[in-house]
Amino acid sequence: MEIAFYGGAGEVGRNCIGLRDGRASLLLDCGVNVGAETPAARNPEIPDADARSYAQIAISHAHLDHIGYLPTLYSRAKHCRAPIYATKPTMDLMSLLLADYQRLSNLFTPDDIKRVLGFCRPLHFNQIQGQDMKFSFHNSGHILGSGLVLVHGRQRVLYTGDVNNRVSRLLEPCHQGLRAETLIMESTYGGAKDSHKPLKDVVKDLIDSIETTLIKGGSVLIPSFAVGRAQEVLFILEQHMTSGALSPVPIFVDGMILKANKIYRQNLDFAKPEVRRRVLHSGQDPFQSRHFHVPKTRSRADVLNEQAIIVSTSGMLTGGPAHIYLKALAKDRNSLLAFVGYQSEGTPGRRIIDGEREVELDGEKVKINLEVKKFDLSAHCDHSGLVQLARTTKGLKRVFLIHGEKPKLAELRDALGKYDVRIPKTGETFTVR
Ligand SMILES: [Zn+2]
pLDDT tens string 320-366: 899 999 999 999 999 999 999 888 888 999 999 999 999 999 999 99
pLDDT tens string 294-324: 999 989 999 999 999 999 999 999 888 999 9
Tally Cβ neighbours within 10 Å of residue 84. Answer: 24
Say how many Å lie between the CA of residue 130 and the centre of ligand 1: 23
Give the span between the Cα atoms of 307 and 317, in whole angstroms: 21
Average pLDDT, the chain: 95
pLDDT tens string 250-273: 999 999 999 999 999 999 999 999
In the predicted structure, residue 79 carries a pLDDT above the cut 90: no
Say how many Å lie between the CA of residue 286 and the centre of ligand 1: 23
pLDDT tens string 143-161: 999 999 999 988 999 999 9
- Give pLDDT, residue 277: 87
Q: Considering only the C-alpha atoms of the chain, give the largest distance between any 2 of them, rounded to a whole number of Å.
A: 66
The whole-number average pLDDT for the span 61-78 is 93
Say how many Å lie between the CA of residue 133 and the centre of ligand 1: 25
Residues with Cβ–ion distance below 5 A, ligand 1: 63, 162
Say how many Å lie between the CA of residue 207 and the centre of ligand 1: 25
Say how many Å lie between the CA of residue 285 and the centre of ligand 1: 26
Report helix angle 88-105 to 257-266, nearest 10. 160
The whole-number average pLDDT for the span 357-385 is 95
Give the domain 199-374 fold.
Answer: Rossmann fold (3.40.50)
Say how many Å lie between the CA of residue 283 and the centre of ligand 1: 31
Does this model's pTM top 0.75? My answer is: yes
Every domain of the chain and the residues it spans: 2-193+379-431, 199-374
pLDDT tens string 210-220: 999 999 999 99
In the predicted structure, residue 206 carries a pLDDT above the cut 80: yes
- Give pLDDT, residue 100: 92
Give the domain 2-193+379-431 fold.
Answer: Metallo-beta-lactamase; Chain A (3.60.15)
> One-letter amino acid identity for 346?
G
In the predicted structure, residue 407 carries a pLDDT above the cut 80: yes
